[in-house]
Structure 1
Amino acid sequence: MSVNKTVIGISTGLVILTAVVYFIFKKKQDEFASKFTKDISIEETWNLPGVLREVSGIAYLENNRVACVQDENGVMFIYNLETSEIEEQIEFAGEGDYEGIAVEGFNAYILKSDGTIYRIADFANNPEISEHPTALTRGQDVEGLCYDPKNKRLLLAIKEMEPDSEDFKGIYAMDTETMQMNSTPVFKLLFDDPIFEQTDVKNKYDRFMPSEINIDPETGNIYMLEGRVPKLLILDPEGNPEKLYFLNVSNFEQPEGLTFDPSGNVYISNEGNPGNIHLISIN
């Protein structure tokens, strides 16, 4: 009889413990789900071919075409939004971890996670490829890249920690004339900014882990993505955080690429099965 009571007691305890764990998990899940922004809506979606399942960067070209890179093969893909097909492929390197792409006229720049920049000059006619190392490293995991037309430079954003600081992550500038990068960041994401308190993350440097960066051509605001816990961060032109949006993982599985068309429309690409590109609007 005592054995049965013991078994019943253990079973009851396990049921109660399971219920407590479930309700704590459900509460956390509901709290996080409540952060999903209602201000971002998807206007159109393009499901990408299998070779772009791990699309890691996009850059808008003219005539509804988008330059894409994925994080395994050294190939620049040109995807046509009207036909939903890849119309051209330009090989620039071998296998590697390629994380971003930027375009300046007919020059394309591809970012490797160790900070190396590949330049494809005159990619539309007679591509010439050159390789340019920077002071950044694989340990910093450099994932964000865009072209800043106002200052004629590239901006590079790191995902992981700065070597000497847990309080910020730097955004670095590279001159496209000299292909030299300034070792001092032009902007800093300061993680004691109140906007990051809503992330509810203990380690400061995990509060935002940039996977992409770009500049709104109309306002000059800086847009940054995080792919790990999908977020969109908007900074003013001086690099001060203004808005932080939590993206629903059901729609934004792993946002890694962001670009603007000349009219200021925003496109976000996601790694997934399949990878995709969303045209979004922000209310």
Structure 2
Amino acid sequence: MMSDNESESPERYALDKPYVYKLPIELDEISGVAFYPKDTSILAINDERGWLYKIYPEKPGLIQKWKFADGADFEDLLLLDSVFYVLKSNGNILGFKFISTDSLFLNEYSFPATKGNEFEIIYYDPFIRKIILICKDCESDKKKALSTYSFDPYTSQYSDSSFSIDVKRIAGMIHEKSIKFKPSAAAIHPITHELYIISSVNKLLVVADRNGTTEKVYKLSRTDFKQPEGLTFTPAGDMIVSNEAAEIGVANIMIFRYNKRTK
């Protein structure tokens, strides 16, 4: 159970001590991010722009970009076996792979449900080898839970997932009777295999097991986490969070080192 102390952090992290990398105006609406271990760069997408960006935190000012689609409401990014998956807010997923430096192969997979669903999250679960989507605001959901869906990248098929997010449990852990939980980013920790979920609206970090059962909840600083929309990890466990500009300064990427927490 969490306390009301905003400085409390998950084990081996210090949420009040990020490395902050400021981004140019073009990335004011940065959404999803993915780590690229081959050269330790960070890949990113921008809401409403069909461009893939490559950011080098160790080389300030160096950013590469490639166009993959026309503008749309792009929410999250995943890199899996050299294929990029980009989530649209309606649940559709774009899958694309670069054939050469100036050409790519792209498919769009339509979410098989009626209108009235809003998503901001996809992440890969390596244990079941599926991509998971978490509802931000889905028509069939009530206030007490959020549905999840899965997408099989090997068969290109959607299906209902095996779990839902218990919103009532999250509310209880922050001493609230009820909340309208609207998650904006999620990823599985590469070492602990826990599911980390961020809600920009609620300014919360939820740590759950892979079945979505909440274990801990942390309040986030509204100063540092002004609008967190992307979350990913390095293989070593460093946590990477992207913040939109949110009309306050510029967008940024925050890196939280794993196992570096000071007491």
TM category (shorter chain) comes to 0.7 to 0.9
SS of 2:193 mapped into structure 1: coil
For the residue of structure 1 that corresponds to 2:26, the secondary structure is helix
- What is aligned with 2:151? 174
Q: Deviation of residue 84 (structure 1)?
A: 2.5
Deviation at 1:148, TM superposition (A): 2.1
Q: What is the CA–CA distance in structure 2 between the aligned matches of 1:190 and 1:143, rounded to whole Å?
A: 18
Say if 2:132 is the partner of 1:155: yes
RMSD: 2.2
Q: How far is 1:215 from its partner?
A: 0.5
| Structure 1 residue ranges without an equivalent (≥5) | 1-32
The counterpart of 1:214, out of the listed 187, 195, 201, is 187
Distance 1:269 1:124, change over 3 A: farther
Q: 1:188 to 1:198 in 2, by over 3 A?
A: same
- The number of residue pairs the alignment matches comes to 247
Percent identity over the alignment is 28
1:59 to 34, 45, 57: 34
Aligned residue number for residue 6 of structure 2? 36
Distance 1:144 1:164, change over 3 A: closer
Give the Å deviation of 1:220. 1.2
Which secondary structure state, in structure 2, belongs to the residue aligned with residue 263 of structure 1?
Answer: coil
- Aligned CA distance change for structure 1 residues 91 and 169 (closer, same or farther; 3 Å): same
Q: Which has the higher helix share?
A: 1
Deviation at 1:192, TM superposition (A): 2.7
Q: Which residue of 2 aligns with 1:111?
A: 87
1:276 corresponding residue in structure 2: 252
Q: 2:226 maps to what in 1?
A: 253
Q: 4+ residue runs of structure 1 moved beyond 4 angstroms?
A: 123-126, 198-204
Give the letter aligned to residue 274 of structure 1: V
Q: C-alpha displacement at 1:225, in angstroms?
A: 0.7
Over 3 Å counting, the alpha-carbon distance change for 1:147 and 1:86 in structure 2 is: farther
Does residue 46 of structure 2 align to residue 70 of structure 1?
A: yes
Q: Which amino acid aligns with 1:247?
A: L
Q: In the alignment, is the contact (CA less than 8 A) between 2:195 and 2:209 conserved in 1?
A: yes
In 2, Cα distance between the equivalents of 1:170 and 1:251?
A: 29
Question: C-alpha displacement at 1:60, in angstroms?
Answer: 0.4
- Using the TM superposition, give the Cα deviation of residue 164 of structure 1 relative to its aligned residue in structure 2, in angstroms: 5.0
The answer as to whether partners of 1:115 and 1:138 remain within 8 angstroms in 2 is no
Superposed displacement of residue 186, structure 1: 2.4
Structure 2 vs 1, CA of residues 218 and 34 (structure 1 numbering), >3 Å: closer, same or farther? Answer: closer
- Post-superposition Cα deviations, 1:196-246, rounded to whole Å, max 9, x if no partner, equal 224465655x0x211011111112111111011211111012221011111
Indicate how the Cα distance of structure 1 residues 93 and 164 shifts in structure 2: closer, same or farther if over 3 A, else same. same
Q: Is the 8 A contact 1:115 1:137 kept in 2?
A: no
Distance in 2 (CA, whole Å) between partners of 1:152 and 1:123 is 24
- Name the SS for the 1:159 alignment partner: strand
Residue matched to 2:207: 234
Query: What letter matches 1:155 in structure 2?
Result: I
Classify 1:123/1:238 alpha carbon distance in 2 versus 1 (closer, same or farther; 3 Å). farther
Contact 2:186/2:198, CA 8 A, preserved across alignment: yes
Q: Give me the whole-angstrom Cα distance separating, in 2, the residues matched to 1:164 and 1:130.
A: 29
Q: In 2, Cα distance between the equivalents of 1:151 and 1:91?
A: 31
Alignment of 1:72-151 (within 5 A): 72-122=48-98, 126-136=103-113, 139-151=116-128
2 CA distance for matches of 1:162 and 1:116? 16
SS of 1:264 mapped into structure 2: coil
For 2:133 and 2:195, the matched residues in 1 are separated by 12
Report Cα offsets for 1:82-132 as digits up to 9, x if no partner: 212354222122111111000113111000101110111247755211111
Q: Contact 2:238 / 2:257 at 8 angstroms: preserved in 1?
A: yes
Structure number with the bigger relative contact order (C-alpha 8 A, sep ≥ 6) is 2
Kindly indicate whether the alpha-carbon contact (under 8 Å) linking 1:43 and 1:278 is maintained by their aligned counterparts in 2.
yes
Higher strand share: 2
What amino acid is the match of 2:119?
Answer: V
Q: Quick one: which of 47, 60, 63 aligns to 2:22?
A: 47
Question: How far apart are 1:151 and its partner, in Å?
Answer: 2.2
1:41 shift after superposition: 2.7
Q: Contact 1:114 / 1:136 at 8 angstroms: preserved in 2?
A: no
